[in-house]
Structure 1
């Protein structure tokens, strides 16, 4: 089955990526269901490291699945979006100053990191639907 066959069966997603100048931005879209993703392992995490409290790039291209917690992400130009369970994050901003986030609800951010090869298709489908808080 292909992504085209499942266009109506998707989950919400937000993609962080770099612009030509190295700054970080985001776009809103979806990820089709029932399409194999190019991942071979995942990491579960609850710890929030000091470097994550400041602007930072993604260490590698990866899907981020939020299990618990509600966060506000901020990109280079100051635009923001909310990430919470039910929205998949594609972190592809591996260069430049990156992004930062603040925990809005809950005492911890429970998440899964699912790295994927930079050359692989993430299957992200942009929708151009704005969800910025600005």
Structure 2
């Protein structure tokens, strides 16, 4: 599944990884309002391929801002989505098997992590449920 740019310039396209009732992982497609203040720290990461292809939950609730790279994410029921610059990932699948990812264009994934407090609003607005 690929995503178009956000419909208006007032939003940034986003995908949120979440846990289901039985701690499986799925995702929602939506957006985040621009100019939204988020009280968070940050850190940078470059390609660490040790987790590529292996199921894992997010280590914490966090925004993941891709600077370089194009990846395919797969959730527990086999549904997939493409993540690339211009799409914010909200990793909120902190339990269970989690998700897998693989680099599909190039060899690098450069990103910024913005950890969120457990009770912090992620400001995500759902647009639709994923389709197979």
| TM-score, normalisation: structure 2 | 0.89
Matched-pair contact (CA < 8 Å) for 1:38–1:122: no
Q: Within 5 Å, give how 1:1-134 maps onto structure 2.
A: 9-39=10-40, 41-128=41-128, 130=130, 134=132
SS in 1 for 2:51: helix
Q: What CA distance in whole angstroms lies between the structure 1 residues aligned with 2:80 and 2:111?
A: 20
SS at match of 2:123: coil
Superposed CA RMSD in Å reads 1.6
How far apart in 1 are the matches of 2:15 and 2:38? Answer: 16
CA distance in 1: counterparts of 2:36 and 2:55, whole angstroms: 32
Check the 8 A contact 1:24/1:96 in 2, yes or no. yes
Q: Normalized against structure 1, the TM-score is what?
A: 0.88
CA contact (8 A) 2:52 2:102 kept: no
How many Å separate the matches in 1 of 2:9 and 2:71?
A: 27
Structure 1 ranges of 4+ moved more than 3 A: none
Quote the Cα distance in structure 2 between the aligned partners of 1:55 and 1:27: 19
Deviates more, 1:60-69 or 1:120-129: 120-129
